[in-house]
Amino acid sequence: MAKPKVAFYWCASCGGCGEAVVDLADKILDVVAAVDIVFWPIALDFKYKDVEAMEDGSIAVSFINGAVRTEEQKEIAELLRRKSGLVVAFGSCSSLGGIPALANLTSKKKIFDRSYLNSPTVVNPDGIVPKTKSIYDGYELTLPEFYETVYKLDDVIDVDYYLPGCPPTPDLIANAVNAILEGKLPPKGAILSPDKSLCNSCDRNESKPEDVAIAEIKRVIDIELDPEKCFLAQGIICMGPATRDGCGASCINGNMPCTGCFGPTDSCKDQGAKMIGTLGAIIEGEEEEAIDKVIEGAVDPAGTFYRYGMSASLLGSARKEEEDE
Amino acid sequence: MNNFEPKIVAFTCNWCSYAGADKAGMMKLKYSADVKLIRVMCTGRVDTQFVMTAFREGADGVMILGCHPGDCHYRTGNVKALKRYKLLKKTLVQFGINDKRLKLDWVAAGEAELFQKVVNEMAETVKELGPLHLTGNVEQGGK
Amino acid sequence: MNVERPKIALFLCECSTNISNFIDLPAVADWAESTKDFCFVEVSNLLCSPDGKKHFAEKLMEHKPDGIIVAACSPKLHEKTFQDIAEEVGINMSRVQMANIRENVSWVTKDKKKATEKAKAMIKAALQRVILAEDLEKVTMEAIPDVLIIGGGIAGIEAALTASKAGRKVYLVEKDVSLGGSVIKTEEVAPNMECSPCLLAPRLSEIRDDPNITVLASSEITDVLGFYGNFLVKVRKKARYVEESCIGCEACFDVCPVTVKSEFHLGLGNRKAIYALFPGSVPASAVIDSDLCKHFIDNSCDACVPACPFGSINFDEKDEELEINVGALVVATGSKDGDVSNFAELGYKTIKNVYTLPEFERLASSNGPFGGKIQLRNGEQPLSIAVIHCAGSLREDGIPYCSGTCCVDAIKVGELVRKQIPAAKVFNVHNDLVFVGPKENAFYRKQVKDGTQFIKCSDLKTIQIIEKGDKIRIDGKGFKSIKVDMVILSTGLEPASGTNELADMLNIDLGKDGFFKADHDLLNETGSVLEGVYVAGCSAGPCNVATSVTRARSAVGDIISKLIPGREIELEILTSVIDEEKCGACKLCISVCPYKAISFDEEKNISIVTEAICRGCGTCVASCPSGAAKAKHFTDDQIYAEIGGLLYE
């Protein structure tokens, strides 16, 4: 029997998810042995036209990582969707928007102005910015459109499963691949990691008191981090409570707080909003002045609470027009 | 002339502000029809997701009206609401949403005129700010 | 494919003309019909009237809807009315959703068109919400009708007697060795000048003989668990080393070799290491102070054993740890006399004939150290006495508030002194004078008539008490200095020691002045912020004996009207519930619950709501970062649906 065909693709991505597959280490040999990789831009030399030539649905599963920022990414995502039985959103960016989606707090114009015109080291006297169509030397050149907004994968195609994480851990990947190969998958739309707070498996949870009160929000550079104590109890914002379990708490074990890459549990609509509500309520102080003082320590709430989940959030992105004060 | 009719959702608590609104009703104090109330038992119940959902679903302004500090029927729910609101406001500004579009205030059960004043002021403020028009992933739906 | 749509009935109440004049109800009805979302739409009138209610019930029985929207007045007015009718015809109360188109729309909107549109929006909101209704159950719980009273002063005593007469078991817990509190240290209670031991003695006997009342003296509360109707109170009953067979004959006092200053006499008199507070105390038995008794220190004395005619001495007695189940708690821990030793200018403890008012009361009491003889330190009778009002009070570095009860006792000095020493001159140095009611005011006028000189000082902080040989001179702003034999400082009242710890244990609030906070200053002086915990007497704030007693009876009155033997109490329906499968053990809900209704189960690694304590505020639900907590009848989904319904065009 032919081995199932598998494809990997990266959209707006740092490459870490591709690394994660490679990081399966010895497990990767099992994977490679079990499947037939037909498309993997980071590692193998297959072309788009190779994919276009395949029969619809002939790829058993496509793992697509990265957020969707350009027209090309959308097109290839749609192509792979047509050609695949299953599509798995691989990693935080494709599941939630990820780090690239923080760009939603600014605008395409601002990004272009900065990158191509105003950056201190740019020399661009003619003010040339990328265009979808331009004429050069008599030839018409096209570039994929750079969208106004960073999307997550399921904004542009139908997604069957989500592997969360920045990047997903080797265990999670191996489990997912095995589940697919064995046909033992949960209902469509499932996120392939436990539906519980990270606190559930965090070693430091015992040290969290039953009356946490944050008197001052500290950043990881402000204090010497206690390697055994719950971060919230130290005044450090840890996204663990609002983040799915399943990563093995690797950041915590590295003495750094969770930043939320696995996204929210199924019962939450908006990870950042939830964390704002949770953290807000445990701020110490009854008077407005005292409360305001503590909140001064949250220097970039949007970036902190929506670090990975901007595209998945209820607001999605900042308003593009400026509002008067 | 500004013909814009803002959509404003006000989360009101059963024991204080909702009762204050009822009293405003009994006293026939007129206020903007643009403000529509949602009753919760305590402003401590108001999940940040509610506020964001309201904006996403088309609200141009959102209010959270609770008991005066010290008078909460459930001791401290209103103070929790205040703290969440402060952090949320700071975040909304980063989303390019004018922080005047979210207002938390205290209205007791007997304060009918205050209720009228507070909601009318909000309606005026939001009317001047204009429609919110959220952009981005909102149109795409998303998860 | 045929999808089963929920059947929703819509009643639009005209409310006579209160709604129908300001909202185009027929247009709303037409619109509602056109949406095809309702199985039944009707413009009704006066649904709350007897006929209206009957009609409502009939329509429900006819259509058997899954959800019912009553677009009418405020749910705070009639939600229960319609819920009750629904329950009667077999529809769960959760299925009734009101749309407040009267208080929120018809009465407050100028423009009829806008009002009509707003009414539609609110009905849409109600529709989306009621579709997600989940059945609610009334929950009742067996409650224990018994009462535990913390504090055995006059308030605690009255509370105990009142509760016992209603047939309840009463546990009266007192820190000191016997009942009596502050009042027993007073000779005569102003303004009636009734002898306080005479007031108390019959009550103490009643308590002693009452089989319903268990007196736990020398006892302290160590923990309080549970909730209204079902408290578990842990009490440590300290060993007295004298058994209940002791009748208080005092034979052992004579032979005891250890003499110390008596706390009951505020240091003005002595007691032995084996002692009782006063004759006729309840419990009657004496107590051995094991810190001072030579038997406990070096086993060198047994003198009381042979002296006791009843063989009551038992050096082997141990502390007892008791666990008591009751339905309600009454806090009657009283207050503490203000401390003026920090104010050097007042001469307390430095000038020998300067006393506090409580100390003077001890001198004047027949159960005091000198049998009631008012005397100076050298045993002679004073011929001139000055009482300084507000000593140590009305100042930020002392007691910042006016205690409101001391002035009548301060002027009582004149009455007491003139009875014993008719020739004595009495001066009351004051700024304010605070009297409560006509009787106290009449008492004041009597003292003026009988000869007390009232000297107004324009700034009490300027008072200087200076020793001048055998006399004491009093200087101050606004009056000519006076020289007297004895100075009495009228101090205010502070919260009793241990108040903060007890408030923590009970999880109730303290007010601004540090006394226990009442549920409502005007309407419920004797409730606390927690149901089932009451505050009586001075523990809720300084007050006179009459008010202490009234508060005590009021608290017990509330208890016996609500906790009735055999009758189950209704618990809060709209509680919060945490899904065991979803809870991630982050414990952040526990931090925010105002009632400490959530506890952590170490074994299951989840947080659990004790529904009997939960009051349904929903703060934990908004705080739960994983969405595991749910607020009954105010779920996230229901609110989202309401938001959507309100805003969707």
Q: Is the CB of A278 less than 8 angstroms away from the CB of C588?
A: yes
For C2-54, write each residue's pLDDT tens digit. Answer: 567 899 999 999 999 999 999 999 999 999 999 999 999 999 999 999 999 99
- Which run of H or E residues covers position C89? none
For B76-127, write each residue's pLDDT tens digit. Answer: 999 999 999 999 999 999 999 999 999 999 999 999 999 999 999 999 999 9
Q: Is the pLDDT of residue A319 over 90?
A: no
For A144-160, write each residue's pLDDT tens digit. Answer: 999 989 999 999 999 99
- Which of C504, C507, C586 best tests the A interface by mutation, with the highest count of A CBs <10 A? C586
Q: Is the pLDDT of residue B135 over 90?
A: no
- Work out the average pLDDT over C67-71: 98
pLDDT confidence bin for A24, thresholds 50/70/90: confident
Give B25→chain A minimum CA distance, Å. Answer: 31
pLDDT at A325 (0 to 100): 40
In chain C, % of residues over pLDDT 70: 100
Question: Any chain B CB within 8 A of the CB of C589?
Answer: no
- Work out the average pLDDT over C249-263: 94
Q: Is the CB of C627 less than 8 angstroms away from the CB of A278?
A: no
Q: Are strands C576-578 and C425-430 parallel, antiparallel or unpaired?
A: unpaired
Q: Is the pLDDT of residue A79 over 50?
A: yes
pLDDT at C2 (0 to 100): 52
Question: Any chain C CB within 8 A of the CB of B24?
Answer: yes
Which residues neighbour C535 within 8 Å (Cβ) at sequence distance 6 or greater? C330, C331, C332, C508, C516, C518, C526, C527, C528, C551, C555
Structural domains present in chain C: 8-136 (3.40.1400), 139-238+319-334+502-570 (3.50.50.60), 239-318 (no CATH), 337-495 (3.50.50.60), 572-632 (3.30.70.20)
- Choose the weakest-confidence range: C46-50, C191-195, C513-517: C191-195
- Which of C108, C637, C640 best tests the B interface by mutation, with the highest count of B CBs <10 A? C108
In chain C, % of residues over pLDDT 90: 92
Give C634→chain B minimum CA distance, Å. Answer: 7
Give C22→chain B minimum CA distance, Å. Answer: 12
pLDDT at B2 (0 to 100): 76
pLDDT confidence bin for B133, thresholds 50/70/90: confident
**Contact map slice: C 132-161 vs B, CB within 8 A:** none
Q: Which of C592, C627, C640 sits opposite A282 (nearest CB)?
A: C592
Question: Any chain B CB within 8 A of the CB of A15?
Answer: no
Measured distance CA(A218)–CA(C122) in Å, rounded: 44
Structural domains present in chain A: 5-99+149-182 (3.40.50.700), 106-147 (no CATH), 198-305 (no CATH)
Q: Considering only the top CATH level, what class is B8-129?
A: alpha beta
pLDDT at A43 (0 to 100): 84
Which residue intervals of chain A are DSSP H helices? 16-22, 26-34, 48-53, 71-83, 92-96, 108-112, 153-156, 170-182, 250-253, 271-281, 288-295, 301-305
Question: Any chain B CB within 8 A of the CB of C497?
Answer: no
Q: Is the CB of C594 less than 8 angstroms away from the CB of B75?
A: yes
- C401 in Cβ contact with C492 (< 8 Å): yes
Q: CA angle at residue C346 from C340 to C348, to 5 degrees?
A: 60
For C206-224, write each residue's pLDDT tens digit. Answer: 999 999 999 999 999 999 9
Question: Any chain A CB within 8 A of the CB of B55?
Answer: yes
For C421-475, write each residue's pLDDT tens digit. Answer: 999 999 999 999 999 899 999 999 999 999 999 999 999 999 999 999 999 999 9
pLDDT at A180 (0 to 100): 86
- C196 in Cβ contact with C167 (< 8 Å): no
The chain-wide mean pLDDT, for chain A, equals 92
Round to the nearest angstrom and report the end-to-end CA distance of chain B. 39
Sign of CA dihedral B138, C125, A276, A190: negative
What is the 3-state secondary structure of A118-135? HCCCCCCCCCCCCCCEEE
pLDDT confidence bin for A182, thresholds 50/70/90: confident
Which residues neighbour C647 within 8 Å (Cβ) at sequence distance 6 or greater? B7, B9, B54, B57, B58, B59, C121
- Work out the average pLDDT over C280-287: 93
Q: Which of B24, B41, B59 sits opposite C647 (nearest CB)?
A: B59
Give C508→chain A minimum CA distance, Å. Answer: 16
pLDDT at B1 (0 to 100): 57
Q: Which of B79, B87, B138 sits opposite A286 (nearest CB)?
A: B79
**Contact map slice: C 570-589 vs A, CB within 8 A:** 579, 582-588
Q: C572 exposed, middle or buried (CB, 10 Å; 0-12, 13-18, 19+)?
A: middle
pLDDT at C3 (0 to 100): 64
Return the half-sphere exposure (C-beta side, CA atoms, 13 A cut-off) of residue A74. 12
pLDDT confidence bin for A241, thresholds 50/70/90: very high
Q: Is the pTM of this model over 0.90?
A: no
For A200-232, write each residue's pLDDT tens digit. Answer: 999 999 999 999 999 999 999 999 999 999 999
Q: Which of A197, A266, A281 sits opposite C584 (nearest CB)?
A: A197
Measured distance CA(C618)–CA(C630) in Å, rounded: 8
For C160-179, write each residue's pLDDT tens digit. Answer: 999 999 999 999 999 999 99
Question: Any chain A CB within 8 A of the CB of C600?
Answer: yes
pLDDT confidence bin for B141, thresholds 50/70/90: very low
Question: Any chain A CB within 8 A of the CB of C639?
Answer: no
Please name the residue that has the structure tokens 């409570």: A241
Maximum distance among all Cα pairs of chain B, rounded to whole angstroms: 45
**Contact map slice: C 104-123 vs B, CB within 8 A:** 104-105, 107-111, 114-115, 117-118, 121-122
Within 8 A of A312 by CB-CB distance, chain B residues are 142-143
Q: Is the pLDDT of residue A31 over 80?
A: no
pLDDT at A214 (0 to 100): 96
Question: Any chain B CB within 8 A of the CB of C642?
Answer: yes
pLDDT at C162 (0 to 100): 97
Q: Is the pLDDT of residue A324 over 50?
A: no
The chain-wide mean pLDDT, for chain B, equals 93
pLDDT confidence bin for B9, thresholds 50/70/90: very high
Give B110→chain A minimum CA distance, Å. Answer: 23
Question: Any chain A CB within 8 A of the CB of B86?
Answer: yes
Question: Any chain C CB within 8 A of the CB of B21?
Answer: yes
**Contact map slice: B 3-42 vs A, CB within 8 A:** none
For C385-428, write each residue's pLDDT tens digit. Answer: 999 999 999 999 999 999 999 999 999 999 999 999 999 999 99
Give C67→chain A minimum CA distance, Å. Answer: 25
Give the amino acid at C3: V
Q: C469 exposed, middle or buried (CB, 10 Å; 0-12, 13-18, 19+)?
A: exposed
Q: Is the pLDDT of residue B138 over 60?
A: no
Q: Is the CB of C647 less than 8 angstroms away from the CB of B57?
A: yes
Maximum distance among all Cα pairs of chain C, rounded to whole angstroms: 109
Q: CA angle at residue B137 from B132 to B143, to 5 degrees?
A: 120
- Work out the average pLDDT over A2-22: 91
Measured distance CA(C627)–CA(A269) in Å, rounded: 9
Question: Any chain A CB within 8 A of the CB of B89?
Answer: no
Measured distance CA(C216)–CA(C200) in Å, rounded: 18
